[in-house]
Structure formats: structure tokens, C-alpha cells
Amino acid sequence: ALHPLGHAAVTLDGGFLADWQLRNREGTIPHAIEQLEASHALDNLRRITGEHEGEFVGFWFADSDVYKTLEAIGWEAGRCGAEQFLPFVDATVDLLARAQDDDGYLNSYFQVDQPERELTELRWSHELYCLGHLLQAGVAWSRAVGRTDLLAIGLRFAELIERRFGEGGSDMVDGHPEIETALVEVFRETGDERWLRLARRFVDLRGRGLLGVDALGPQYYQDHEPVRAVREATGHAVRQLYLAAGVADVVAETGDAELAEALDRLWSSVHERKQYVSGGLGSRHRDEAFGDAYELPPDRAYAETCAAIANLHWNWRMLLLTGGSRYADEMERGLYNAIAVSTSTDGCAFTYANPLHLRSDASGGGENAPTTRQPWFRCACCPPNLARLVASLHDYVATTSADGLQLHLYADATIALPGGGTATVRTGYPWDGRVEVAFDEPFEGELLLRRPGWARGAILTADGRSVPTEARDGYLVVDGSAHPLSRVVLDLPMEPEVLRPHPRIDAVRGCVAVARGPVLYAIEQADLPEGVLSDDVVVPEAPEVRPAGVDPVTGPRLLIAGARVRGGHRHELYRAMPSARTDAGHAPSSSAFGLIAVPYHRWGNRAPGGMRVWLPTR
């Protein structure tokens, strides 16, 4: 197993991820604090103490928005201080302490509006979900800077839950998984095994029908079958993925082999049959659900931002458990695509659903499927979830093990090594595939460098010597035991690639996508010639793709040669042809043009209009 290096060990020095952290600190987090006021999430809590009058506003789980924002600031505090946010943090922690009931209960909706239903309707109440986020925030502050007042509030509530639902108490689970992973993190932070036992208990009580039945069905709540029996990812995507992360945490701490096998089955279901090329997850707007295997429509992709974040959390835990590069590959896929696309270039506007195709005349369809990013949401789970992820991004870059150091995500970083000394990484990733690792003291351990699934080759040198590039579990191995390492250089060729979908993915049959390195590309109306709609562009089956300069908004562009425009539109939706003939009625125009593609994650930052990742070849 691999181990995290610890929250203070890695500093992102520059480049894509560091810029994202800066944008998060200067844009997203202050914006989130404003929105917690504007959305009345804080007022909801002030109603408990009598500091605010009025109705509860928003969804009944809006406390979690507050907790996720506090968690983000906690990680920021550990990363480079959070002085500017302390007035908000101190006031909010104080408010929470005063709002908490004597028995530990804390939930702004139930305490004021429905005290008689407290902890009685966990199918929909989200009470343990909110507690989970409170605990995660407490863990962040404790781990990052040793501040424990927030964790203490969470623990008081957790103790009430343990008395009520722990061994010997009622058999019950929460309709929205999240508490499981939080409890394991609390165990790690406090060393108290009862939290691990409670997490495992919550995992094992699923699938027994404890939540009862409603129109959404038991799979929506992850109560359709025991986790140990699961074969397919199903139901509400975020619930499924948070649960998977929690189960992985339980496996990590207990070594439960049966649960580990269930996770393997679930992982294959998600990543081999139900995932978008962007790393987005969840094919259905209805019930925010995973669809059937290979049901992956690009236009109606729900691909909720929170699902991609949950998937990163889960894959990180799988990576720690197994050391397999495929998990880090999926983290990378999500990070540079499904997650990055969710935030505007100023860090203050967000997507909730993340389609891979927007038609020219798309009507939007409510706040969950906007044609433009939104400043906040009535169900505002995603923006503060992004804030907490980005503030902790440096934690996912590298790990350690008994044998040495493993690099998973490539970024300019300074890494304090467990045995002393530092490693410095320099790279132009994700736009350039060269990665240089310098050790200030010769490194005698094993350095593992992930060979990304997208890479067609790799050139590796250690202090000028060529190193074989056979991968072990997807990692290139540089052994410093004979020749301690000072400078290791990995060159990953980063040519534009044409991606083809599995033929069972019906929704994108006859289409190709374009990527370069880990970055998926899309075409956008803003780059098309006058009079050409994104709906009508056709590219060759095997198009030539080459770099096409850097745009200040979208970043590095690609040019797809030989694109044409389909013309001759007819009114009929369906046309019969004698069986011996094919349809020549929509032959593309004869003049070819160079089609500009931009990183998918940067789309929607210019003029509104159509967008598509999958490009028809006919």
C-alpha cells in the first residue's frame, strides 16, 4: 500500500494546478463565502440561535455548503495560511458551537422546523451526510493546522449518532452516503477505532431495505443490495461514488477482502462501461443516475461535477490500496476535463451538469443543465465541493511507500521527502510531457513515475543514464539503490490523438474525439467560420490534427484538417432509400477547412453557442 505524504509535504510551485489553487483561493473561496450569505445558508444556522428570523431557505441539506467551504479554508490554512478568511471561520465555528444542541445534534433545518423528526427519516434527511461534511471540515482544520474546535463540534454530534446507530443501537443508514468516508478519516485523525467500526457498520447495513421504498427506488439511495454483492454501478451517481470511496476507506483500514472484490467489480462497471471520455459520470438527468452499460449520450450527459470529484476521491483511495496506475489515470482524466470544465476562468461561475455536446439552439433546461456557468445553485453542492478539492490538490500529486516515492500527477512541485531532503518537479504538464525531477540530496530509494494510459512511448533518463521503460503496475521504475538519484527526466511524447469510442456506445457512433496528453478537446461555435454551425461540421475518419497556437482564453489550440460542412438540409427527419442505394442527400461541401479545437475544460468562456467533443465523421 501507498501512503499520503502528509498535508504539508507538497507545495505546488506553478503551472496548471498551482494556478488553479490560486484561482480557488482568490476567486472561488471568497465567492463561496459571499454566496453562503446570499443563499441564506448561514442565516439558516442563525435561526437556531435566534440571531435570524424568517423561513428556512434552500434545500434542507444546505448546512453542508457551509461545512465544505470551511473544509476548503482549512486546507488553505495548512497550505499557505488563511488569515483573510479567519473572521468568517471564527464567526461560523462560534455560531455552530452555539447552535449545537446539548446532546450534540446539529442541523439547521430539523432543529427549527421539524425537531420531532430528527434522525427519524434518514432516507431523505441528509442528516448524516451533513454530519459527514462537518467531520471532514473538522479533520481538515485539525490535520492542516492543528485547530480542533470544529472537529470537536463534529465529534459531539458523531457521538450522538454512535449512541443511536452504533452497535447495539438502531440498524439504519443515511440515504446519501458520505458519512462513511468521513468516519474513517476521523478514525485516522483521532485513532479512536469506534469511528472505523461505525463506518464499517454503515457499509454493511446497506442493501437491507432499512430505508424503505419510495418512487425513486432503493438503488437511488444505495439500498438495493448489500455492498458485498454489488456487480454494477447504479442509482444516483454521486451517492454511488461517495459510497465507493467510503468502502475503499474501510478496506484500507480493515483489509476486508470481500469488500475489496466488490470494489473491483464496481470499478470495472464504472470505468469500463459507464464513464464519459471526460471522466464525467452519470448519464441520466432523471434521478441524477448512472444509466445502463454503454448508455453515454453526450448531449444529455448529466456528469455532475460532484460525481467527478467523488470519483477522484474513490480512485485516490484505490490507488493507495493497490498502487495501480489506472486509478491515477482516472484521477487525471477527471481533473483536467470533467472537473476543470466546471469552473469559469475567474473561479466564480460553475457548472452542475457537464455535457459533452451542446446544440446550437439548446434550450438549457433549468439550472442543472445551463448553457452557461452559474454563480451558484439552489442545490449548491458542487461549488464548495470544488473549493475543498482544489485547496487539497497538492495532496494527490505523490505518495510514499517502504520502497520510495511515487509520482502520480505531474506538476511543478516541491516535495518534502519522509526520509529528509526534497524532490523538485518541473514540467509544462498538461501541455508538455517533459517531467524533470531533481533531488537536493541523492535519493537512494525507488522512484516510480506514472506512465499515463494515453502515452504512446516514454523516454526516461536518470542522471544522464537511460532507464528501461517497462512499466510495473503502470509505473516506470527508477531504482536509486545502486546509483542514488539526483536528476531524473521523463519525456512523454504528447502528440494530438484521435479517440474512437467503444462500438457499443451507440450515442457517439461514427464520431471521433481529439485529445492531447490528458486534455480532451472540443470544438466551439466561437471558432467556426461565419455561417457554419457546430451542428453541421464533419471531419475525416482519420483526421490529421496539429497544434494551432495558444489562445489567451482557451489555451493551447489544435487544428483538425479536412473538416467540411454538411449541406443540403431537408425537412424530413427520416428518409426511405431503395435498399440498393445509400443517402447522398447530405454530402458534405466540397471545400475543406481547418477546424479549431480548444481544451474541453475551457469551453463556454467566450461567446455562447454550440459545443461538441465528439465530431461526426459522416
Nearer to a copy of itself among residue 212 and residue 510 (C-beta): 510
Whose Cβ is closer to a copy of itself: residue 540's or residue 555's?
Answer: 540
> 317 or 357, CB closer to a copy of itself?
357
Nearer to a copy of itself, 90 or 544 (CB): 544
Shortest CA distance to 310 belongs to which of 243, 236, 265? 243
Q: How far is the CB of 615 from a copy of itself (least distance, A)?
A: 11
Nearest Cα neighbor of 15 from 397, 580, 448 is: 397
* Distance from chain centroid for Cα 180: 18
* Cβ-based nearer residue to a copy of itself, 279 or 404: 279
Provide, rounded to whole angstroms, the least separation between the CB of residue 184 and a copy of itself. 30
In the block, cell 442493501 appears at: 207
Strands (E), 303-458: 357-358, 398-401, 404-407, 412-416, 422-427, 434-443, 446-450
* Residue with Cβ nearer a copy of itself (154 or 218): 218
Q: How far from 533 is each of 59, 359, 567, 595, CA to CA, in Å?
A: 39, 9, 11, 12
Neighbours of 146 (CB within 10 A): 9
Question: Quick one: residue 328, left, alpha or beta (phi over 0 = left, psi -120 to 50 = alpha)?
Answer: alpha
In angstroms, what is the minimal distance from the CB of 507 to a copy of itself?
5
The DSSP symbol for 536 reads G
Q: At closest approach, how far in Å is the CB of 577 from a copy of itself?
A: 5
CB of 536 to a copy of itself, least distance (A): 8
Give yes or no for a contact between 459 and 469, defined as CB atoms under 8 angstroms apart.
yes
Least Å distance, CB 348 to a copy of itself, is: 24
CA 243 to chain CA centroid, nearest Å: 14
User: In the complex with a copy of itself, which residue's Cβ is closer, 366 or 421?
Assistant: 366
Note whether 162 and 194 are within 8 A (CB): yes
C-alpha cell at 5: 505524504
End-to-end Cα spacing for the chain:
48
Q: How far is the CB of 139 from a copy of itself (least distance, A)?
A: 34
Rounded distance, CA 207 to CA 243, Å? 12
C-alpha cell at 19: 494556478
Closest approach of a copy of itself to the CB of residue 454, in Å: 6
Question: Closer to a copy of itself at the Cβ: 184 or 512?
Answer: 512
| Cβ distance to a copy of itself smaller for residue 28 or 240 | 240
Residue type, 189: E
Which cell goes with 365? 433546461
For residue 531, what is the DSSP state? T
- Nearest-angstrom CA–CA distance, 589 and 198: 64
Cell of 540: 475525416
Report how far residue 147's alpha carbon sits from residue 419's, in angstroms, rounded to the nearest whole number: 26
Q: What DSSP element (H or E) covers 524?
A: strand 519-524
* Chain-centre distance for alpha carbon 432: 23
Residue 335 C-beta: closest distance to a copy of itself, Å: 17
Nearer to a copy of itself, 132 or 501 (CB): 501
Q: Considering the complex, what minimum distance in angstroms separates the CB of residue 258 from a copy of itself?
A: 23
Residue placing its CB nearer to a copy of itself in the complex, 275 or 343: 275
Q: How far apart are CA 110 and CA 114, in angstroms?
A: 5
Least gap, CB of 291 to a copy of itself (angstroms): 8
Closest of 587, 86, 604 to residue 353, by C-alpha: 604
- Given the complex with a copy of itself, which of 119 and 216 has the nearer CB atom? 216
Contacts of 173 (CB under 8 A, 6+ apart): 122, 128, 202, 205, 206, 210, 211, 223
Shortest distance (Å) from residue 5 CB to a copy of itself: 31
